[in-house]
């Protein structure tokens, strides 16, 4: 399959490296793949071949990319799948941290979709060939509950519930530092980070309104355990909002969490994943209207980490 993509450089991206700009625009390509395209003369800037990957882009510049690559396909794989609830129209799975939800962004196997295609006879097609059944997503390193539709009618009605904010979502998060208040709201628009385009930022590019409610469940000397309830569904919303208060989620180096924990005069590596878990979902069954509430307990790795920091507080 031949891929032809064209981009106009917005004013806020002026001065960025060409490879970084393209990596943000083409998330299904890795930066090394993009550099190879540039070396092969398959990327043009204003109709002239790009000279190097580090070449800065200019506001209003026209970039064209031409390349051939294999078409992505989602195939069945016999992978572990923790099903929390299932009926004829939908299922809810407890996704493990480290598992990507669907094929794409350079990932062709090991995803939740690969597992679903093996374990479930029918999935909705409304999300496209690469995302059968997928109504919403979780970040790769976030664990917890994901709703999956088995047919298109269920998919449409579930999507409408997410769009109208009728799905109640509760996450458990451990953050650095002690929160100033026991409960509160974070109302900050979230948009693309103008410098690091794979990240989001409070008040970033094309920011959209976002609201997260939280309450403190437990306080430690250097950490706070929270329940976070996103009222909107922006990318990385909880992670961005908590980091904007100076309390990044433990293990979330993307948004400023430290890689080394320093306490009691010693040092140790941080958690190998983000301490963020989608613990509860409440929604209306898409066909019957019955209110469903599903829960997923804290995974063992997070529970063990909590026990560890509690022992440090003694």
Tell me which residues are annotated as active site.
139
CA distance 58 to 46: 10
Closest listed residue to residue 199, CA positions, set 143, 139, 247, 246: 139
Look at the alpha carbons of 305, 311, 312, 314 in this order and tell me if their dihedral is positive or negative.
positive
Closest listed residue to residue 194, CA positions, set 6, 15, 8: 15
| 17 close to 54: Cβ distance less than 8 angstroms | yes
| 79 close to 107: Cβ distance less than 8 angstroms | no
CA distance 171 to 212: 11
CA distance 165 to 174: 25
Burial tier of 41 (Cβ tally within 10 Å: 0-12, 13-18, 19+): exposed
Strands 168-176 and 276-284: antiparallel
CA distance 298 to 275: 10
**Residue 115 in tokens:** 């597992």
DSSP 8-state symbol, 233: -
CA distance 237 to 213: 11
Residue 35: strand, helix, or coil: helix
Within a 10 A sphere around the Cβ of 60, how many other Cβ atoms?
11
């Amino acid at each position: 399959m031949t891929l032809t993509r064209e981009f106009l450089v917005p004013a806020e991206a002026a001065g960025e490296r060409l490879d970084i700009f393209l990596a943000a625009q083409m998330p299904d390509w890795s930066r090394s793949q993009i550099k190879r395209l540039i070396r092969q003369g398959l990327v043009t800037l204003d109709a002239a071949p790009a000279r190097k990957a580090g070449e800065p882009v200019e506001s209003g510049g026209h970039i064209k990319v031409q390349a051939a690559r294999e078409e992505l396909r989602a195939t069945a794989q016999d992978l572990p799948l923790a099903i929390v609830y299932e009926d004829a129209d939908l299922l809810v799975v407890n996704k493990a941290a480290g598992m990507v939800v669907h094929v794409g962004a350079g990932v062709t196997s090991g995803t939740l979709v690969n597992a679903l295609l093996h374990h479930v006879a029918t999935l909705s097609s409304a999300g496209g060939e690469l995302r059968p059944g997928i109504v919403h997503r979780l970040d790769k390193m976030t664990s917890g509950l994901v709703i999956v539709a088995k047919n298109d009618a269920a998919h449409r009605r579930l999507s409408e519930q997410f769009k109208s904010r009728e799905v109640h979502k509760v996450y458990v998060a451990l953050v650095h530092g002690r929160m100033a208040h026991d409960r509160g709201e974070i109302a900050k628009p979230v948009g693309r980070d103008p410098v690091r385009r794979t990240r989001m930022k409070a008040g970033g590019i094309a920011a959209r309104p976002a609201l997260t409610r939280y309450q403190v469940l437990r306080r430690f000397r250097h950490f706070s355990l929270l329940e976070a309830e996103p009222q909107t569904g922006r990318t990385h919303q909880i992670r961005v909002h908590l980091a904007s208060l100076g309390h990044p989620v433990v293990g979330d180096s993307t948004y400023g969490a430290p890689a080394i924990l320093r306490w009691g005069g010693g040092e140790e590596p941080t958690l190998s994943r983000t301490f963020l878990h989608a613990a509860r979902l409440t929604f209306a069954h898409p066909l019957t209207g019955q209110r469903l509430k599903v829960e997923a307990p804290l995974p063992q790795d997070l529970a063990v980490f909590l026990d560890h920091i509690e022992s440090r507080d003694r």
